[in-house]
């Protein structure tokens, strides 16, 4: 019998109608397959990695916030004041902030992982966002962060992203990776509706300038961001270390799409923590073939939706281990079992 069949048989033996726990059964199955057991264990240690970087495209007026907010929010993360701190603490996950390329010097801090590749990318409407070397370096840094997670005994990670302009960059990357642009552009965190057309025009022009795109690395070089390349490397590394990866909103999921484009086999490690209210997110999750666990109309990023879903994933793991079976509980089976 395959392990998949063994896990499904176990789920069907529990005191509930077959399949009646819906996505929780699918989550338990996926975790079981990752851990290669029908009795998967809870992660002993959980963490969220918040990839922070600046985006040169911001000078085209695509965001409601000035670029300095990226560095200000990093400090907010380090001072435990942001939403991600509250939710990570709520679900007992550690917060690591990655400086993938913030446009200013940041103070040293034990929770701040210095992986700075540059002080923000270049404006990809005018030139390539970064060099080929920077793409390689970013992917390698991401892998190093996955090694760090493994060495720190982290057994489940959330991947968050923060940086002014990140939804514009995410839209450009996702479109260059084959998703229809119309399904990708909206207000981001929050810009007035009239600004949306401007944002779309900027991305369209940039895509025209840089096409054709020859590979995922080529996409990252031309219209990418340091945080996106690092998220991709990080996810590839976590998959190698057998660590489940819970992705968050639109930018985080585009990081996963870049990783998936580099290596389809990572998909078994991916969980979609939530569906955000940012328009492009649904299209990216569809492309990845992932069903979101939560749908709370959030559009904040930082890893907030991913970390909130930890509670559901852990409930699923407890379910498959702790529920009584029809046999052990002496409960009669229904017609469906006959």
Q: State the catalytic residues.
A: 302
**What is the residue-wise DSSP string for 180-211?**
-GGGT-S-SSS--HHHHHHHHHHHHHHHHHHP
Dihedral of the alpha carbons of 254, 130, 76, 250, in degrees to the nearest 10: -10
Which residue lies nearer to a second copy by CB, 59 or 144? 59
d(CA 151, CA 47): 13
DSSP assignments along 92-114, one per residue? TEEEEEEEEE-SS-----TTEEE
CB 141 within 8 A of CB 115: yes
What are the residues facing 101 on neighbouring strands?
53
Residues that bind a second copy (CB under 8 A): 14-24, 63-66, 68-69, 72-73, 75-76, 79, 81-83, 85-87, 89-91, 189-192, 277, 293-300, 304, 308, 311-312, 314-315, 318-319, 322-324, 328-332, 334-336
CB of 83 to a second copy, least distance (A): 6
In terms of CB distance, is 142 or 305 closer to a second copy? 305
Using the CB atoms, write b or e for 68-96: b if 16+ within 10 Å: ebbbebbebbbeeebbbbebbeebebbbb
Of 212 and 330, CB closest to a second copy: 330
Query: Which residue lies nearer to a second copy by CB, 90 or 205?
Result: 90
Task: State residue 200 phi and psi, 5-degree precision.
Answer: -65, -40
Coil, strand, or helix at residue 139?
helix
Min dist. Cβ of residue 138 to a second copy (A): 26
- Least Å distance, CB 141 to a second copy, is 26
Q: How far is the CB of 148 from a second copy (least distance, A)?
A: 27
Give min distance, CB of 25 to a second copy, in A. Answer: 9
Cβ distance to a second copy smaller for residue 107 or 192:
192
C-alpha 255: how far from chain center: 7
């Amino acid at each position: 019998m395959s392990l998949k069949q063994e896990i499904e048989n176990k789920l069907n033996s529990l005191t509930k109608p077959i399949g009646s726990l819906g996505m929780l059964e699918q989550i338990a199955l996926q975790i079981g397959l990752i851990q290669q057991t029908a009795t998967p264990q809870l992660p002993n240690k959980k963490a969220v990695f918040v990839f922070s970087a600046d985006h040169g495209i911001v000078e085209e007026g695509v965001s409601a916030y000035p670029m300095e907010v990226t560095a200000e929010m990093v400090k907010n993360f380090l001072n435990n004041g942001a939403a991600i701190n509250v939710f990570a603490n709520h679900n007992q996950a550690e917060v690591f902030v990655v400086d993938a390329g913030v446009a200013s010097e940041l103070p040293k801090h034990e929770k701040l992982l210095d992986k700075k590749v540059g002080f923000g990318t270049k404006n990809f409407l005018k030139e390539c966002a970064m060099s080929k070397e920077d793409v390689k370096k970013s992917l390698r840094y991401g892998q190093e962060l996955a090694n760090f997670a493994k060495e720190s005994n982290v057994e489940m990670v959330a991947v968050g992203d923060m940086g002014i302009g990140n939804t514009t960059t995410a839209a450009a990357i996702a479109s260059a990776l084959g998703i229809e642009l119309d399904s990708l552009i909206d207000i981001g965190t929050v810009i007035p509706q009239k600004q949306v057309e401007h944002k779309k025009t900027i991305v369209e022009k940039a895509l025209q300038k840089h096409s054709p795109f020859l590979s995922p690395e080529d996409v990252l070089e031309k219209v990418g961001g340091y945080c996106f390349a690092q998220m991709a490397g990080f996810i590839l590394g976590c998959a190698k270390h057998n660590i489940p990866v819970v992705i968050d909103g639109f930018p985080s999921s585009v990081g996963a799409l870049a990783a998936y484009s580099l290596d389809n086999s990572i998909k078994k490690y991916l969980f979609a923590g939530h569906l955000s209210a940012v328009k492009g997110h649904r299209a990216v999750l569809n492309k990845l073939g992932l069903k979101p666990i939560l749908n709370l109309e959030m559009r904040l990023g930082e890893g907030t939706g991913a970390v909130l879903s930890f509670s559901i994933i852990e409930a699923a793991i407890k379910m498959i281990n702790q529920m009584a079976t029809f046999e052990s509980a002496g409960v009669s089976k229904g017609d469906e079992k006959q």
